[in-house]
Structure 1
């Protein structure tokens, strides 16, 4: 099945719908960090497992659509090994848990894999492919671009970002102050927040 290409406006709508499924009142509340793990596990019924996926953390996440066998990096034997996985499992690079500075990246990886599940599940289910490998590389194909966009739209919802930005006007005087403060509030990286604020021409 071919990839359906979603425009940014459609992905914003999917993000709003996803957050409303979690809590119909969420988008009307005060700006705060999206509980991405709760949404993954409770709203969508997916499992999150932390494993060392590669020897150098080049792959941050892997969405498992069909039950079967996949690889992981076994640090005890310093080599790759096989493990059985159930469909509906999200494998996340365990190294992301080892550094507090990676917390924003961890949350974005979770949202990225959820985005793949939401918009690409029909493409990969039944193929036996543990698809949508999330790498550190900057090259993006259409599915990666869509997953990245939907991830930021889920973690940094349109209305809440704008509401938060205008609420901070009395205290934030520079672009970097807005980026730092809002990244802290939404528990994302400063880089991700800067991109999102530029999306809306707020900075």
Structure 2
């Protein structure tokens, strides 16, 4: 596994997004969003297949660089599916009505990013004693903003976010909805106008609000993130002395 800094990951994402823009033919105008299906099928030449990957829904996606059999489910019964090295296998529940499209898009590009790194670093991913046969995207592995113990998944998540939310496109979308270049506070209760504009940006990019907030924070475009707890601003925690 090659070492990649955040700057190097951003550079790879820029190459991918530029290639995507040339392919879709925007005549010099910046794209409005990156469509994962077009990226995977038309740019990378990979296949997308939707199946039930686990009983409890914990596995969101799979891919492999070689031919390998994996276990999936039909009518809750396990069966074998053979990955051919050019397929992105996605949990079908992510496409159901009411499912979060941002989660689907992140999973698609997450699995595609494994394949992108393999294309760029074929020697580093050559079969060997430490070769991983199947790359699984789980419910926890896409939470790239938290503590990441698997550095392969951390790197892939960073690349995924940079492809779906490139800096130039983010700045353009934020300006279009009237947001400042840097959001001072993301809070749906105490800053509702900014929050609604932020939600519009997430929808326009086809990503979840959680993924967008983390990306903005990492890029230094968001100062305070209260997405998970809008009342954290006014919550008073007792001092240790007051407990006795």
TM-score, scaled relative to structure 1? 0.87
Residue 152 (str. 1) matches residue 161 (str. 2) = yes
Q: Which residue in the other structure is 1:188 paired with?
A: 207
C-alpha separation in 1, matches of 2:11 and 2:152 = 17
| CA deviation profile, 1:169-198 (whole Å, cap 9, x unmatched) | 279974412320110110111111111121
For residue 57 of structure 1, report the CA deviation from its aligned partner.
1.2
Contact 1:54 / 1:72 at 8 angstroms: preserved in 2?
A: yes
5+ residue gaps in structure 1? none
Larger Rg, first or second structure (1 or 2): 2
CA, structure 1 residues 30+23, in 2 after alignment: closer, same or farther (shift >3 Å)? closer
Deviates more, 1:26-35 or 1:46-55: 26-35
For residue 70 of structure 1, report the CA deviation from its aligned partner.
1.5
C-alpha separation in 1, matches of 2:37 and 2:149 = 25
CA, structure 1 residues 111+27, in 2 after alignment: closer, same or farther (shift >3 Å)? farther
Contact 2:21 / 2:31 at 8 angstroms: preserved in 1?
A: no
Contact 2:174 / 2:198 at 8 angstroms: preserved in 1?
A: no
CA, structure 1 residues 132+104, in 2 after alignment: closer, same or farther (shift >3 Å)? same
5 Å-filtered alignment, 1:49-198, equals 49-75=49-75, 78-120=76-118, 122=122, 123-124=124-125, 126=127, 129-137=132-140, 139-169=148-178, 174-198=193-217
5+ residue gaps in structure 2? 181-190, 223-244
The root-mean-square deviation of aligned C-alpha atoms, in Å, is 2.5
Contact 1:104 / 1:187 at 8 angstroms: preserved in 2?
A: yes
| CA deviation profile, 1:27-81 (whole Å, cap 9, x unmatched) | 9634522111111111111000001011011010101211232210222xx2322
CA, structure 1 residues 173+102, in 2 after alignment: closer, same or farther (shift >3 Å)? closer
| CA deviation profile, 1:95-149 (whole Å, cap 9, x unmatched) | 1011333211000001111111111463555468542211112554101001111
C-alpha separation in 2, matches of 1:26 and 1:140 = 39
C-alpha separation in 1, matches of 2:29 and 2:215 = 20
Count of equivalent residues: 199
TM-score, scaled relative to structure 2? 0.73
- More contact order relative to length (CA 8 Å, sep ≥ 6): 1
Name whichever structure is richer in helix by fraction.
Answer: 1
Contact 1:61 / 1:135 at 8 angstroms: preserved in 2?
A: yes
